Chain A
Amino acid sequence: MPKRDEPPFLRYLIVNADEMEPGSFKDRLLLEKTPHQLIEGVIIGAFAVQATVAYIFVRGEYVLALERLVRAVVEAQARGYIGRDIFGSGFSLTIHVHASGGRYICGEASALFSALEGRRAIPRARPPRSAVSGLWGKPSVVNNVETLCCVPPIIERGANWYLGLSRSVDGGTKLYGISGRVKRPGLWELPFGTPLNEILFEHAGGMQDGYECRAVLPGGASTAFIMPENFDVGMDFASVQKIGSSLGTGNIVVLDQRRCPIGLLRNLEHFFAQESCGWCTPCRDGLPWVERTLTAIEAGEGEAEDLDLLVHHVSFLGPGCTFCDLAPGAMAPLASGLKYFRREFERHINEKACPWHDTKDAWA
């Protein structure tokens, strides 16, 4: 971003509240339960970079969150926390709340600019970075909801206090969520770096009776599987990366033994194929091909060569081969699935049927 006294003086602070990563629900709860905390973070953040306009980009399906956020903005305006010359400081700020038309790619920062400008949400080439040329070509800072909600307490109690809350090199706390067949699915704010097995077995109460944990996606659909032998991993950026996955949103999805791992991968790739914006060819054409191949394997119609085709796509759609990070994200669970569930893949192909066929349309 340009310095405080450097032009251009029209700059934007954008809040990415387009939470659409499958398995993630932390931002929805923050927006619904504590909208003023976000607004306070926005005001402080905007002041820091001298942005006079802020946009909060919320996904359209978050109806209750939107309702409460809009009300909170109106309340803050009425009390003079936002508006012209806030409390005589000379600093002015307008906050707009935008309800998205709905598309996963809007969460990609540069695609989010396109969406706010009333265009198809297609990512943009970098450079220029958004801090130089973002929304309407003006310097823009994009932050997520969780980050901005951390700002007010840090300002109030200091950076050292915040850093000290952590159990890892990443400072502070993290919202960890869990869904799947655990006893207590939910969301907890815990020290950054809390071990996965502590979240899974203490906070979430372990697996429901009759279910075993086969693997987890640690932070949404774009993260690689973590297997039980690595459940002692601390849930921070570096530690999770060290075992070949990534922290993602920190909202964990648990795969149990009663669901087919190939079916789960097919579900994930269906999502990515559908949500590809279609701008670059590898993503637009490659992801549906991956989905079709997985669908065939799951249905018992796969051939041995299909596994080579999937392996090829993992590198063909990997980092550096596509315009944005959607396709590389889609390949993360697939790459790890091919590694950890090789036997299950081969069983589908050899037996020409899904070993989990009975549970395919079952409730439990």
Chain B
Amino acid sequence: MSTVEQVFVREPLGPRLRHEIVTIARHAEDKRAACIDALKLVQKRFRFVSDDHLVEVAALLEMTPAELDGVATFYNLIFRRPVGRHVILLCDSVACWVMGGAAACAHLCERLSVKPGETTVDGRFTLLPIVCLGHCDHAPAMMVDEDLYGDLDAARLDDILRRFR
């Protein structure tokens, strides 16, 4: 992680984000029931959940940091380590595997010079394998941030990556 980013994540949640978290907690039937939503809000702002932010959120939801970390580390879409500006979720389940998912993974790894789970040197992309995205009739499939892409082949992958340059 670059120095700039380290300073960025040391920034506290701030009054606006704290207020948002307190509000969703108030509407939940039990404060801790809002914890996944709260962690997602933190992630939307800071891209991942740092230790300091986790401690802050835990206090707002009257959970211990250990309890909240137990939840945060359980779920696939909550990131406890820094990720790049764009997160690629590449399906590695069976329908995509049959349709060339391994080739798609190899192609992305080669183009981005990363292994699955890693972030590119320029901090632009993090490549993460994900379970079946429910786009099996257009396998192989992946998501980049919130957008779903199917029928992947080498040319289409290159074209999609180019959009984020």
Contacts and interface: CB of A to CB of B under 8 A. Distances in A.
Contact of A120 (B39, B61, B71, B137): B71
Interface stretch (A17-25, A77-85, A284-292, A336-344): A17-25
A100 interface: yes
A363 B39 contact: no
A149 to B, nearest CB: 16
B contact patch SS: mixed
Given A253-B98, A267-B97, A178 B143 contact: no
Contact size range, B = 35 or more
Contacts of B94: 22-23, 217, 221, 253, 264, 267-268, 271
B13 to A, nearest CB: 18
Interface in A153-193: 177-181, 185-187
A115 B89 CA distance: 22
A60 interface: yes
Interface in B94-117: 94-95, 97-100, 102-104, 106
Interface string B124-142: 0000001111111111000
Interface in A343-364: 360-364
Contact of B135 (A25, A59, A255, A268): A25
Contacts of A63: 143, 146-148
Interface string B18-59: 000000000011101111110110000000000000000000
Contact of B98 (A24, A254, A270, A275): A254
Nearest to B98: A180
Interface residues of A, number: 60
Interface of A: 19-25, 27-28, 59-64, 98-104, 115-121, 136, 177-181, 185-187, 217, 221, 251, 253-256, 259, 263-264, 267-268, 270-271, 274-275, 277, 360-364
29 contacts: A20-B132, A22-B95, A24-B134, A24-B136, A59-B134, A63-B143, A99-B37, A100-B36, A101-B36, A101-B40, A101-B76, A102-B78, A103-B74, A118-B35, A120-B71, A121-B74, A179-B98, A180-B95, A181-B98, A185-B136, A185-B139, A255-B98, A264-B97, A267-B94, A270-B92, A271-B94, A271-B132, A274-B131, A364-B100
